[in-house]
């Protein structure tokens, strides 16, 4: 029997991208260098030595891309702004050509009836700011607030949904502890995460004082429901630690204006972390988010063998594949139940926040082609199951308002270069030809009907 899953009226459907992953034009029209230009050009950290120099060439093809979104019936488009296009050195004089690019993009979206959802920061920090300490420095926090303030004033008449940061966990704790910017440095990552929360709260404050404060402002966190591999006490403790650092460390500041005590205790001495400034907490308290953006792809399963494994970023997160579970090309478990449990848990523990799914999607091989169209039935099946989980959560009262597929098109997947494909639209990176995958047609029909069938 066919079952229909109908979404609430006005549910916001769209797709997401980010500046470095799609724009290309890395040194055009006065754009300053960003940390990813440097990682790609000067290190061997990216697979196949790929770079974002050209990427999807969206900087030159944005009109064509918006046309595609329009044909696909997307209601909204989540994109990020390249800070060094606006301020080539992070601060100082703004760059008119960069400003014009985003003016044109936003105007074109609006002319096509597509709502712009603007992320201020999706990892492409201006290099001059990395040189003065990156997110470890409060000077960079000030520069970010100045940049955010400029953006609100300039685009706030047309942009009504703002996202301060994308996935702070990733560009602070993960990138630092994996030595992406320089040497491995967990402390630097932790300090950066605290500074990013301060920058976030200050940006929310400035938004509410800006010329056009009539929109919504939030943050996108990558969250993952954590399950123990067994009922053992150690595994249950491993869940608390992992959930603490992956989820609560980022959720509590923006939704409770506090940091989780158990994690503070865990890190203060070993990493010599100073007390959280009182002013940060006041800022967070006075500037709550309007919505929470959730990026979710998978769940996390943990198990600890010994008490001493239970440290921050401990040696217990299961990465090995387990027979009987399903995995994507990234090696991430396909886990729609984890998505449902995550939504229910956030609703319960954080007082029923307004939520947008700002990223969900999957990388697969995409190697089945008929009549030139990629037959990505596995992607359709993945998204269907996640949407079913979202639907069930809405039925239970979760305040979920919209969903953005990651990603509109295949793009530069960070250290994996172009080897991993998440798009609804296939890109031929030689010719830059865009081709709809089967999932793009399917998603178009979902949006049109505001529902789908299983
Ligand atoms: O491509 C990334 C994106 O930049 C941030 N969220 C996860 C995606 C897939 O890895």
Q: Give the N- to C-terminal CA distance of the chain in Å, as an integer.
A: 8
Q: Does the pLDDT value for residue 183 go beyond 80?
A: yes
The residue ranking higher by pLDDT, 339 or 302, is 339
Residue 362 Cα, ligand 1 centroid: separation in angstroms? 10
What's the pLDDT score for residue 319? 58
Residue 74 Cα, ligand 1 centroid: separation in angstroms? 20
Average the pLDDT over 108-136 and give the result.
98
39-53, 59-73, 81-95, 174-188, range with the lowest pLDDT? 174-188
Q: Does the pLDDT value for residue 317 go beyond 80?
A: no
Place of tokens 């979104």: 69
Phi, psi of 220 (to 5 degrees): -105, 120
What's the pLDDT score for residue 306? 87
By alpha-carbon position, which residue is closest to atom 9 of ligand 1? Answer: 413
Ligand 1 atom closest to Cα of residue 21: 4
Q: In this structure, are residues 147 and 32 in contact, taking their beta carbons and an 8 Å threshold?
A: no
pLDDT digits (tens, 9 = 90+) for 259-305: 999 999 999 999 999 999 999 999 999 999 999 999 999 999 998 88
162: nearest Cα among 145, 148, 150, 146: 148
With the most atoms of ligand 1 within 8 angstroms of its CB, the residue from 36, 167, 361, 411 to mutate is: 167
CA within 13 Å, CB half, 18: 24
Residue 423 Cα, ligand 1 centroid: separation in angstroms? 11
Ligand 1 atom closest to Cα of residue 295: 6
Mean pLDDT of the chain: 97
Helix (H) or strand (E) holding 268: helix 261-268
What's the pLDDT score for residue 131? 97
Is the peptide bond preceding residue 407 cis, with omega within 30 degrees of 0?
yes
Structure confidence at residue 92 as a pLDDT band (50, 70, 90) = very high
What's the pLDDT score for residue 310? 83
pLDDT digits (tens, 9 = 90+) for 407-449: 999 999 999 999 999 999 999 999 999 999 999 999 999 999 9
Model pTM score: 0.98
Instruction: Enumerate residues 6+ apart whose C-beta is below 8 A from 97.
Output: 29, 30, 85
Average the pLDDT over 158-182 and give the result.
96
By alpha-carbon position, which residue is closest to atom 2 of ligand 1? Answer: 413
CA distance 29 to 79: 20
With the most atoms of ligand 1 within 8 angstroms of its CB, the residue from 15, 16, 18, 423 to mutate is: 18
Ligand 1 atom closest to Cα of residue 414: 1
Phi, psi of 46 (to 5 degrees): -105, 135
Residue 409 Cα, ligand 1 centroid: separation in angstroms? 12
32: nearest Cα among 143, 197, 177: 143
Report the 10 Å Cβ neighbour count for 273.
Answer: 16
Q: Which residues does a 6 A CB cutoff place in the pocket of ligand 1?
A: 18, 21, 167, 295, 359, 406, 413, 422
pLDDT digits (tens, 9 = 90+) for 40-70: 999 999 999 999 999 999 999 999 999 999 9
Residue 413 Cα, ligand 1 centroid: separation in angstroms? 7
pLDDT digits (tens, 9 = 90+) for 224-244: 999 999 999 999 999 999 999
Structure confidence at residue 150 as a pLDDT band (50, 70, 90) = very high
Ligand 1 atom closest to Cα of residue 361: 9
Place of tokens 């960003």: 34
Report the 10 Å Cβ neighbour count for 378.
Answer: 18
Q: Does the pLDDT value for residue 316 go beyond 70?
A: no
CA 363 to chain centre: 15
Q: Does the pLDDT value for residue 315 go beyond 90?
A: no
- Which range marks the domain in which residue 44 is found? 4-453
Q: In this structure, are residues 208 and 283 in contact, taking their beta carbons and an 8 Å threshold?
A: no
Ligand 1 atom closest to Cα of residue 406: 8
By alpha-carbon position, which residue is closest to atom 4 of ligand 1? Answer: 18
Average the pLDDT over 68-79 and give the result.
98
Residue 21 Cα, ligand 1 centroid: separation in angstroms? 9
Q: Is 351 helix (H, G, I), strand (E, B) or coil?
A: coil
CA distance 312 to 292: 25
With the most atoms of ligand 1 within 8 angstroms of its CB, the residue from 15, 295, 361, 416 to mutate is: 295
Q: Is 333 helix (H, G, I), strand (E, B) or coil?
A: strand
With the most atoms of ligand 1 within 8 angstroms of its CB, the residue from 17, 170, 180, 406 to mutate is: 406
Q: Does the pLDDT value for residue 321 go beyond 90?
A: no
403: nearest Cα among 2, 4, 16: 16
Q: Is 395 exposed, middle or buried (0-12, 13-18, 19+ CB in 10 A)?
A: exposed
Q: Is 433 helix (H, G, I), strand (E, B) or coil?
A: coil
Place of tokens 């704790």: 173
Sign of the CA dihedral with 195 first, then 200, 203, and 208 last: negative
Place of tokens 């269907």: 384
What's the pLDDT score for residue 436? 98
Ligand 1 atom closest to Cα of residue 359: 6
CA within 13 Å, CB half, 44: 0
Which residues belong to the active site?
Answer: 167, 359
Compute the radius of gyration of the chain from its Cα atoms: 21
Q: Does the pLDDT value for residue 223 go beyond 90?
A: yes
∠ Cα 135 139 144 (to 5°) = 70
What's the pLDDT score for residue 312? 77
Structure confidence at residue 391 as a pLDDT band (50, 70, 90) = very high
Ligand 1 atom closest to Cα of residue 123: 4
Residue 53 Cα, ligand 1 centroid: separation in angstroms? 18
Residue 296 Cα, ligand 1 centroid: separation in angstroms? 10
- How do 451-453 and 4-6 pair as beta strands? antiparallel
345: nearest Cα among 389, 301, 402, 289: 389
CATH of the domain at 430: 3.20.20.80
Residue 374 Cα, ligand 1 centroid: separation in angstroms? 21
Average the pLDDT over 112-138 and give the result.
98
Could you say which DSSP state residue 55 is in? Answer: T
Structure confidence at residue 355 as a pLDDT band (50, 70, 90) = very high
CA distance 63 to 57: 11
With the most atoms of ligand 1 within 8 angstroms of its CB, the residue from 79, 332, 413 to mutate is: 413
By alpha-carbon position, which residue is closest to atom 10 of ligand 1? Answer: 413
Average the pLDDT over 318-334 and give the result.
89
- How do 115-119 and 355-360 pair as beta strands? unpaired
Q: How many domains does the chain have?
A: 1
Report the 10 Å Cβ neighbour count for 224.
Answer: 24
CA distance 408 to 427: 10
What's the pLDDT score for residue 209? 97
String of DSSP letters for 206-259: HHHTSS---SEEEEEEE---EEESSS-HHHHHHHHHHHIIIIIHHHHHHHHSS-
């Amino acid at each position: 029997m066919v079952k229909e899953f109908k979404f609430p009226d006005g549910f916001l459907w769209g797709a997401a991208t980010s500046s470095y992953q799609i724009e290309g034009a890395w040194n055009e029209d006065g754009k300053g260098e960003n940390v990813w230009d440097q990682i790609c050009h000067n290190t061997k950290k990216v697979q196949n030595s790929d770079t974002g120099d050209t990427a999807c060439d969206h900087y030159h093809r944005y009109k064509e891309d918006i046309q595609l979104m329009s044909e696909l019936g997307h209601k909204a488009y989540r994109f990020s702004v390249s800070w060094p296009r606006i301020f080539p050195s992070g601060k100082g004089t703004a760059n008119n050509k960069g400003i014009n690019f985003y003016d044109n993009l936003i105007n074109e979206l609006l002319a096509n009836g597509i709502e712009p959802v603007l992320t201020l920061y999706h990892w492409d920090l201006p290099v001059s700011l990395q040189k003065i300490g990156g997110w470890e420095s409060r000077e960079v926090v000030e520069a970010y607030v100045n940049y955010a303030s400029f953006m609100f004033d300039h685009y706030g008449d047309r942009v009504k949904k703002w996202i301060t940061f994308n996935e702070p966990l990733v560009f602070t704790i993960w990138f630092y502890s994996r030595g992406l910017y320089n040497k491995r440095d967990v402390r630097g990552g932790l300090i950066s995460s605290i500074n990013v929360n301060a920058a976030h709260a200050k940006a929310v404050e400035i938004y509410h004082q800006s010329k056009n404060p009539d929109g919504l402002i939030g943050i996108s966190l990558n969250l993952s429901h954590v399950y123990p591999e067994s009922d053992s006490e150690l595994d249950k403790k491993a869940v608390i630690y992992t959930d603490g650092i992956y989820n609560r460390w980022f959720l509590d500041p923006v939704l409770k204006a506090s940091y989780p005590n158990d994690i503070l205790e865990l890190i203060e001495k070993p990493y010599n972390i100073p007390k959280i400034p009182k002013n940060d907490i006041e800022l967070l308290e006075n500037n709550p988010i309007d919505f929470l953006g959730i990026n979710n792809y998978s769940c996390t399963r943990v198990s600890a063998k010994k008490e001493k494994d239970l440290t921050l970023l401990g040696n217990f997160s299961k990465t090995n594949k387990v027979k009987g579970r399903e995995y994507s090309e990234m090696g991430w478990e396909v886990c729609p139940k984890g998505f449902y449990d995550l939504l229910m848990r956030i609703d319960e523990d954080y007082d029923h926040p307004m939520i947008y799914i700002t990223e969900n999607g999957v990388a697969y091989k995409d190697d089945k082609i008929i009549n030139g169209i990629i037959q990505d039935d596995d992607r359709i099946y993945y998204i269907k199951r996640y949407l079913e989980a979202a639907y069930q959560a809405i039925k239970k009262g979760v305040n979920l308002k919209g969903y953005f597929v990651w990603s509109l098109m295949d793009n530069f997947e960070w250290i994996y270069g172009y080897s991993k494909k998440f798009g609804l639209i296939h890109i031929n990176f030689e010719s830059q030809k865009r081709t709809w995958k089967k999932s793009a047609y399917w998603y178009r029909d979902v949006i049109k009907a505001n529902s789908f069938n299983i």
